[in-house]
Structure 1
Amino acid sequence: MAPPGVRGSGVRLVQKVSSTRGFARVAPHVVPALDRAVHRLSRGKVLLSARLLPGVVLTARGARSGLPRRTPLACMPEGRDDEGAAGSWLLVGSNFGRADHPAWTGNLLAHPEAEISWRGRDVPVTARLLSGAERDAAWAALLEFWPPYATYQARVDREIRVFRIVRR
């Protein structure tokens, strides 16, 4: 199942590039900054990385500071409501295959009530860290959706955190 917007050989090329160590070194500094800038300038209507994978901008309170932290993230939408809108989303704390958990995952653990910007709309959500069989099932679906997550997991000793966020 290819992510929306990425087709054929294009998806394989993007997956191959995103699995490299070089991408993991550069992307965390470039991709979120570009996403935040374009998202702000377009008043929440455009997220550049969402051209490759569906994406949200997560606003969660900082674990220690309590201040709002905005983080552009790839996501996997799950289910649909009566109007065709996503009912929940999976967020993956892959950190591009880097050794540490990304800060946003600690923020959600401390403050699970958050907000996402999804397709230009602000949506209040509650996050839950998945574990056990529920995480295993979600992880299998995520690997089908975006195989580079397997490369990221193989690169690190930590278990990559997977959250399900649902509308409040």
Structure 2
Amino acid sequence: MTAADGVRRGAGVRWVQRVSSTPLFAKIAPKALPAVDRAIHRLTRGRVLPSAWLLPGVVLTVPGARTGSPRSVPLACMPEESGSWILIGSNFGRTDHPAWTVNLLHHPQAVVNWCGEDIAVRARLLEGEEREDVWARVLAFWPPYATYQARVSRTIRVFRLTRC
């Protein structure tokens, strides 16, 4: 069991899930959380990702859709037993798709930093029945994603990242 599993199962998880489902959190978190994660991840040379204390997380590096310049963003993920990762483009329930999802659609070859290790991956947007099956597991994994989806008219993008 990881530290993230322990927190998700702990008594405080319901409080964290409630807070993370609020509109105020959706307004503040997209700026504050990635900035803190990036700074600490950089300072610890990839050994610490603070948001991963709540949910497992990776730092995704993918070329920008327009510029081709590398863009790195810390993201919560749902690791799969097969060694792949599920990324959810919820954008905390904000109206637009997050930029990293657009980048992955244009450049599916990317790198994730997982537990301090850089791993080359290929991203695939999940659709149809496959997406629905994974979405059900995502909601069991972190129920606030249902609140995020209810808040927006777009379908939240879900990607599977597999090692190259």
Q: TM-score, normalised by structure 2?
A: 0.96
Q: Which amino acid in 2 is paired with 1:53?
A: L
SS at match of 2:6: coil
Distance 2:84 2:133 in 1: 15
Q: Which amino acid in 1 is paired with 2:102?
A: G
Offset of 1:79 from its aligned partner?
1.3
Q: Which amino acid in 1 is paired with 2:60?
A: L
Q: Which residue is equivalent to 2:128?
A: 132
Distance 2:81 2:122 in 1: 16
Q: Which residue is equivalent to 1:33?
A: 35
Q: Which residue is equivalent to 2:57?
A: 55
Distance 1:160 1:17 in 2: 20
Offset of 1:8 from its aligned partner?
2.8
Question: What value does the CA root-mean-square deviation take over the aligned residues?
Answer: 0.8
Stretches of 4+ aligned residues off by more than 2 angstroms? none
SS at match of 1:134: helix
Distance 1:117 1:12 in 2: 28
Q: Which residue is equivalent to 1:100?
A: 96
Are residue 122 (structure 1) and residue 118 (structure 2) matched?
yes
Q: Which residue is equivalent to 1:163?
A: 159
Q: Which residue is equivalent to 1:110?
A: 106
Long gaps (5+) in structure 1? 81-86
2:70 counterpart (54, 68, 71) = 68
1:77 counterpart (71, 76, 79) = 79
Offset of 1:4 from its aligned partner?
1.1
Distance 1:11 1:127 in 2: 29
Distance 1:5 1:35 in 2: 20
Q: For this pair of structures, how many residues does the alignment match?
A: 160
Distance 1:105 1:155 in 2: 18
Q: TM-score, normalised by structure 1?
A: 0.94
Percent of aligned pairs with the same residue? Answer: 67
Distance 1:71 1:127 in 2: 15
Q: Which residue is equivalent to 1:91?
A: 87
Asked if structure 2 preserves the Cα contact closer than 8 Å seen for 1:5 and 1:53, the reply is no
Q: Which residue is equivalent to 2:6?
A: 5
